Amino acid sequence: MSIPNMLSIFRLILIPVFTIVFFSPIEHAMLYSSIVFVISGVTDLLDGYIARKYNQVTKLGIVLDPLADKLTLLVVLFCLFKKELIPSWILIFFVAKELSMILGGIFAYTRSDLVIPSNIFGKLATIFFYFSIFVLLFDKTIGIYLVYATVISAVIALFSYIKIFWNNKHSFKK
């Protein structure tokens, strides 16, 4: 197994670690969960960098990396919602967006073996997500505005993926 794929699996393992620490009664739980979150974000950047630099891009990695991104995003947002740090509509928006992307990806793959890799808009939205959530964990006022901006960046990324999907519709089997 390649190093980028192992890093993606490590990020999947960090999801329950973040959740446990985030809701734990220990002193400084928010700080410790933030550290886990930052490690996840850095690992996300590393797996993509290593995969491209050392030509270790695999179909498994193309699936694992966004899966880890999506699950991290949804679980972190759910945790923030449960602690009333974000409004419910943000969680609902991201659940709907991620489900539509997952279903669209499954449809594209089963109809034409098309795997739509992440693009610059998706990568920037992910980076912005990590940054805004990190700020939110320490400063709710500034953080929530950054989360709103993250929603806008996610909408832009979603439309960029819809465009790619639409441009490849001719390759779908009937």
What percent of the chain clears pLDDT 70, i.e. is strictly above it?
Answer: 98
Using only C-alpha atoms, what is the Rg of the chain? Answer: 17
Question: What is the per-residue pLDDT across 86-110, written as a single tens digit (0 to 9) for each?
Answer: 999 999 999 999 898 888 878 777 8
Quote the tokens at residue 33.
């969960």
Read off the pLDDT of residues 12-66 as tens digits, 9 standing for 90 and up. 999 999 999 999 999 999 999 999 999 999 999 999 899 989 999 888 888 888 8
| Residues 80, 19: Cα–Cα separation, whole Å | 10
Residues 65 and 126 sit within 8 Å (Cβ to Cβ):
no
Map out the domains of the chain with their CATH numbers.
Answer: 3-171 (1.20.120.1760)
CA angle 32, 37, 160 (to 5 degrees): 165
Within the chain, where are the H helices?
3-23, 29-53, 59-82, 88-112, 120-138, 140-167
**Mean pLDDT (whole number) for 142-167:** 93
pLDDT of residue 173: 66
Residue 174's pLDDT is: 58
